[in-house]
Amino acid sequence: MNKRQFLQYGMGLGGLTALGSACQTTSATSTAPRQSANGRIKLGIASYSYWHFRDPKISIEQVINESAALGVEGIDILHRQMDSEEIPYLQKLKRHAFLNGMDLIALSIHQDFVDPDPAYRRQQVEHTLRCIDLAHEMGIPCIRLNSGRWNTIQSFDDLMAARGLEPILPGFREQDGFDWCIDCIEQCLAAAERSGVILALENHWGLTRTPDGLLRILDAIQSPWLGALMDTGNFLEEPYPKLEQIAPRTVYVQAKTYFGGGEWYTLDLDYQRIGRMLNQHAYRGYVSLEFEGKDPAKEGVRRSIELLRRHLG
């Protein structure tokens, strides 16, 4: 599956929670003071934990049921896992979550702003704007953003084998990619503010593979509606100083675990150390589990939540 097919699949899928709890507001150059040095982190589960893009697909309703049984407080919905974008389906999910005592805390979406074609970038902006509307309709206060990548390595499996490193598209500069990404995010900010939805830029692949790349984008954009999404498993080498570097700008956390061995790689993450780091930065938002191991999801998620509760929750 090539880049456009992959993204078109995601785009073809056809009340407010406490904003301060799920995603803290940031400035462009520094994180606003946390509201309290006390309190606690709340745990959530990403629906991706039950479905790694392989059949059979697990419904969001099933994820809500499983998560409620584990006693966590929030659900991070993977956009590509949704059965529809129609209003009755969105309201059904919101009702089902409420009746099970669950907050809908984030909508994890995909887009790619690193492309020389202005029409393609505009398509990605429109997709992001649409997802802001979906989040607002469901009362979700935060969406996950990707910066995008050069796609000179087409296969994601090959990209993971290369540890996320890929060459820049011939004829272009790294600065071009950052300029495109910054411009596209800026086009989404008015809608984000109007809808009360924070954009959380993940340390994913491509431009945000490094903390310097992630912070370069955040520093260039003057908006309290953009912050960092800390994915604990996406800095493959020496993760702790890199996670520390983005911690002051973090508005949302996704915590990777790998019971049974990872789908693409396995990291032995020290969540006691990560918990201390988050505490030192007075992080009081959600930490959402992204179980990416090969163990059966029900068992792997349960063990993962037990681990996170010991050190974070």
pLDDT in tens, 50-92: 999 988 999 999 999 999 999 999 999 999 999 999 999 999 9
**Which band of pLDDT confidence, cut at 50, 70 and 90, is reported for residue 164?**
confident
DSSP annotation string for 229-274: EEETTS--SSHHHHHHHHGGGEEEEEEEE-TT-BSS------HHHH
Average pLDDT over residues 294-309: 97
Which amino acid is present at 50?
Y
Cα distance between residue 77 and residue 268, in whole Å: 25
Cα distance between residue 174 and residue 154, in whole Å: 18
Alpha-carbon distances of 273 from 46, 192, 244, 263, 284, rounded to whole Å: 22, 33, 11, 24, 16
SS3 121: helix
Domain limits for position 62? 3-311
What global pTM score does this model have? Answer: 0.87
DSSP 308: H
Look at the chain and report how many structural domains it folds into.
1
117-152 residue pLDDT tens: 999 999 999 999 999 999 999 999 999 999 999 999
Share of the chain above pLDDT 70, in %: 87
Q: Euclidean distance between the first and final Cα of the chain, in Å?
A: 39
**CATH number, residue 164:** 3.20.20.150
